[in-house]
Amino acid sequence: MFVKKQEGNTQLTQDLIILIVSLVVIVIAAEIFTNAIESLGAKLKFSEGVTGSIFAAVGTALPETMVPLVAIFAGNSEEISHEVGVGAILGAPFMLATLAMFLVGGAAWIFRHRRKKVMIHPEHSGLKRDLEFFLFVFSLAFFIAFTPSTWRLLRVGVAIILVLSYFYYVLETVKASKALVKDGHATEESKNLYLSAIFKDHMFFVVVQLLIGLGLIIAGAKGFVLGVEHLAEILHVPVIALALLIVPIATELPEKLNSITWIRHGKDTMAVGNITGAMVFQGSLLPAIGIFLTPWTTNLTVTASSIITLLAGSWLYLLVAKKIKITPPLLILNGILYILFVIIVLASL
């Protein structure tokens, strides 16, 4: 009995070490990645909106994007596809619209003295465009899950619309970039490229550092999820709670930490765009793949998370549409919506 308890304590210690080391790796990787993304945007003379909403958003969305895709392609049965379909994909933007936006508000408050301001000032037109596209594609992807699976032609049509919508969004964001650069929204480097301390400040080394940062993010996220899974087994946490509440936080860490880094440096457009751009990416291309490859049906928990996601997105859009100055207290609602979902999940266990 004593030996088993000692082994359990040793395993718990090891898992905690894995969690801490993985978190440190992700924090360092986020700093390396944001530094490289800023250099890339500056060299290509893109606006902060393009750099945050497209480059950073897609780059840091890749780790959690690969989870449902690998599960779908590796699945050998329809049951596996059911499990990783609508739940895994529609759940991805949930953390970003609720917890991530709440943390951005919290970071703006914590770093208010360094920033010399409390309000969050993302570029207005870009944020409005992100939220409009997100609310459109996410609503479409969510509501099509309630249609009969026999309506295959309609579902395929919706999937094509989702794909085309994302590419149209990218074109519109890039198109707006030139005018925004002239208006003073060009991407600027907070610091010189880290690799330039060893090598020349060349585009090749920008890409190299970008890949290093992304690789470390993926490695750190995998280690963090692995540690959480082992910890959940030791603490006897229900699998559904792990899947819906714990693992998503780990996989969404890159966006959150990148955004907090940019908020700390006063780069609000890239901080917010990193989140809203990932929301558009994960609300369009991933559901399109899910509709093509899975039965794409929903359940009570997924429905609750999707409705809460739409409420959080609509609240943000209301602030932007009414041109209300975004302050940390206004983003508390996003945190409350996250807590509401936690209560729903725990109540359903």
Residue 316 has pLDDT above 90, yes or no: yes
Global model pTM greater than 0.85: no
Distance between CA 247 and CA 224 in Å, rounded? 9
CB count within 10 Å of CB 225 equals 23
What is the band of 161 on the pLDDT scale with cuts at 50, 70, 90?
very high
What number is the average pLDDT over the span 275-300?
Answer: 88
**pLDDT of res. 76:** 47
Count of Cβ atoms closer than 10 Å to residue 8 Cβ: 11
Structure tokens at 146: 């309630």
pLDDT range class, residue 317, cuts 50, 70, 90: very high
Q: State the SS3 of the chain.
A: CHHHHHHHHHHHHHHHHHHHHHHHHHHHHHHHHHHHHHHHHHHCCCEHHHHHHHHHHHHHHHHHHHHHHHHHHHCCCHHHHHHHCHHHHHCHHHHHHHHHHHHHHHHHHHCHHHHCCCCECCCHHHHHHHHHHHHHHHHHHHHHHHCCCCCHHHHHHHHHHHHHHHHHHHHHHHHHHHHHHHHHHECCCCCCCHHHHCCCCCHHHHHHHHHHHHHHHHHHHHHHHHHHHHHHHHHCCCHHHHHHHHHHHHHCHHHHHHHHHHHHCCCHHHHHHHHHHHHHHHHHHHHHHHHHHCCCCCCHHHHHHHHHHHHHHHHHHHHHHCCCCECHHHHHHHHHHHHHHHHHHHHHC
pLDDT tens digit sequence for 211-252: 998 888 778 877 776 776 676 677 676 655 665 666 667 667
Cβ atoms < 10 Å from Cβ of 73: 11
Domain coordinates in residue numbering, the chain:
2-348
| Tens-digit pLDDT profile for residues 164-197 | 999 999 999 988 887 777 766 666 666 788 888 8
Residue predicted with more confidence, 6 or 32: 32
**pLDDT above 90 coverage of the chain, percent:** 37
pLDDT class of 199 with cuts at 50, 70, 90:
confident
Per-residue pLDDT band at 148 (split at 50, 70, 90): very high
Q: For the domain 2-348, what is the CATH superfamily, name and number? A: NCX, central ion-binding region (1.20.1420.30)
